[in-house]
Amino acid sequence: MTAEANVEELAALVNNGDVLGLPTSTGDYAACSMVATRALIRRGLKDLNLVLVPSSGIQADMLIGAGCVRSIQNGVISLSEYGAAPRYVDAQRRGRILVKESTCPAIEAALTAAERGLPFMPVRGILGSDIVRLRANEWMVIDNPYPPGDPILLVPAIKPDAALIHAPLADRFGNIWIGRNGHARVLSHAAKMTLATFERWYEGNLFDDPVRASGVLPAQYVRAISHQPRGAWPLGFGDEYPEDAEEMRTYAERAKTDEGFASYLRERVHDVAEVV
């Protein structure tokens, strides 16, 4: 049964050392819960293993800078037009995190394997790349049996301990509406549990809405929900609200130094009350 929680209670369901799946933070497939990210940092979590589906920006950068992350598997981390992800770059240079180089198709394939209860999934498009060489201790190239003589890459399933997402709507039955967000869907299906913040309550059962039913993530996948209007801020969230460009520029500038980032955390994370 899906539990209704405040954001601190939601964050308390993530443990040190967990594999945490995070969806992309930009574009039509944005589903990034920044309000829950700040709650995770306030908890002082350690040794998280992030899986980005397939990319991230300020969300992963803040978790890394706050010392919450042991390893990260991703396609890319960037603040887009605001520049590089400064805490991610700094942590790489200082050897503070383990970076598992990957690609969007490889991560999607690994999650799809977990979603379907399979141990691995074949991938073709990155054969011959340096990424395959760098991941040789985890990925395997075999001879395709259909037909023989054709190499194929096998990537092992990724089953996150938790998926953390932000959604537009939730109902009192624990269903959440994610629309056409395929990344959030496969991540939630693959994970052991999904933790979701959301913008608005939907009165009634989302599955009774013929327009929205096809975009609903059923309650059986959702461990807990938390009503958090503007929960993606400072990122934009579809048609709900735009990105706060001034705040993003502020973060990008202050996160360039240890001192600037520490002061940003004090002001935007630790000295605020966000419990709803």
Q: Band the pLDDT of 29: cuts 50, 70, 90.
A: low
CB 194 within 8 A of CB 161: no
Task: Give the Å distances, CA to CA, from 31 to 201, 252, 257.
Answer: 17, 21, 28
In percent, the amount of the chain with pLDDT more than 70 equals: 97
Choose among 158, 157, 167, 183: nearest CA to 2: 167
On the question of pLDDT at 98 being above 60, the answer is: yes
Q: What is the mean pLDDT of residues 36-49?
A: 98
On the question of pLDDT at 275 being above 80, the answer is: no
Residue 113 carries which side chain, given as an amino acid letter? A
Give pLDDT tens digits for 225-272: 999 999 999 999 988 999 999 999 999 999 999 999 999 999 999 987
Neighbours of 220 (CB within 10 A): 10
Domain with CATH 3.40.1080.10 in the chain: 3-103+159-270
On the question of pLDDT at 211 being above 60, the answer is: yes
CB 165 within 8 A of CB 187: yes
Q: Band the pLDDT of 276: cuts 50, 70, 90.
A: low
Q: Band the pLDDT of 2: cuts 50, 70, 90.
A: confident
Cβ-proximal residues to 160 (8 Å cutoff; 6+ apart), any chain: 18, 19, 20, 21, 51, 187, 190, 191, 192
Helix (H, G, I), strand (E, B) or coil at 207: helix
Give pLDDT tens digits for 109-159: 999 999 999 999 999 989 989 999 999 999 999 998 887 788 999 999 999
Q: What is the largest CA-CA distance in the chain?
A: 61
Superfamily of domain 3-103+159-270: Glutaconate Coenzyme A-transferase (3.40.1080.10)
What is the reported pTM?
Answer: 0.95
CB 107 within 8 A of CB 86: no
Element (H, E) at 120: strand 120-123
